[in-house]
Amino acid sequence: MLFLPFSLTVTLISCLHGVAEELQEIPLAKPVVPTKCRNHEVPWHWYISIKDSVSDVYYTDIDYVSQFADSLDKMVAKLNSSPKNRLFEVGPSGTLLGGDIFMASLGPEHELEAVIHGVKPGIWGIKNLPQDDPFEYKGTLLRWLADGHLDYNDLPTSLSLPQLSPLSQWKQLVISSVDSGTQGILDNDSLEVMLAEAQREDPETDMEYILDMLAEYSYSEGNLAVKAGYVIASGDGFYQILGRSHGDSIVELLTKPYHWDE
């Protein structure tokens, strides 16, 4: 057993007592939707940022964070309520980002490796390839379905697969590595919209916050579609993203495990 000197013990207790008093002075609002945090049985919306020293404690707007998270929770549930609802919108820039979604939430040194340009704007569908073994991920297919904007509050009742001809052969666009077990593809314009909706203070750390939220959804069974694209807990390893084009635009994308010995 470790015994601390009496003077150090008194100093430590006094410091902790001061922090406790500071915490009591600031009411913490209960979040709307308690969510199971990765590895912890606590609502992840209840967080305190500790900066520089134990006395410099500051708080986010927990009420607003909860409202934003609650809205996104409901949207993700709606998008995954039926296979036909697994949709997302590619914005005017036609730029998608892919790779290890959770690692990208840890900071700028872990940026998403895949940047895909020339993707056809409009409404896209998402589906996983059939698999014989439920624990063996085969891939995720994205297809352009229609022009226009996607109203997430009023999803289209049915969208048939357009007959686009001719289509190019599948072409490998990028290979990315995944170390957190969670990969996906997200629309860059949609992420910018979510960043504005979050109404937080620092664009860099706010984007990390949003990516962490999206990565968390992959750990709930049945989730695939998120508001900006898809995320899935498919395991560590290398993944290749293939594309097919119609005219000058990419209209189909396929992410699947990549094995260097193939």
Q: What is the mean pLDDT of residues 242-253?
A: 97
CA-nearest of 123, 115, 251 to 186 is 115
150: CB partners within 8 A, 6+ apart: 87, 88, 89, 123, 156
Domain annotation covers residue 58: no
CA-nearest of 235, 232, 234 to 224 is 232
Q: Tens digits of per-residue pLDDT, 173-222? A: 999 999 998 999 999 999 999 888 876 666 666 788 889 989 999 988 88
CA 241 remoteness from chain centre: 18
Encoded amino acid at 124, one letter: W
Domain annotation covers residue 168: yes
Domain annotation covers residue 32: no
Domain that holds residue 239: 83-258
Number of domains in the chain: 1
Domain annotation covers residue 175: yes
Q: What is the mean pLDDT of residues 220-241?
A: 93
Structure-derived torsion over alpha carbons of residues 54, 55, 61, 62, reported in degrees to the nearest 10: 50
Domain annotation covers residue 156: yes
258: CB partners within 8 A, 6+ apart: 175, 237, 238, 239, 240
Domain annotation covers residue 78: no
> What's the DSSP call for residue 108?
G
CA 7, 9, 12: angle at the middle one, nearest 5? 110
Is the pLDDT at 115 greater than 60? The verdict is yes
Is the pLDDT at 231 greater than 90? The verdict is yes
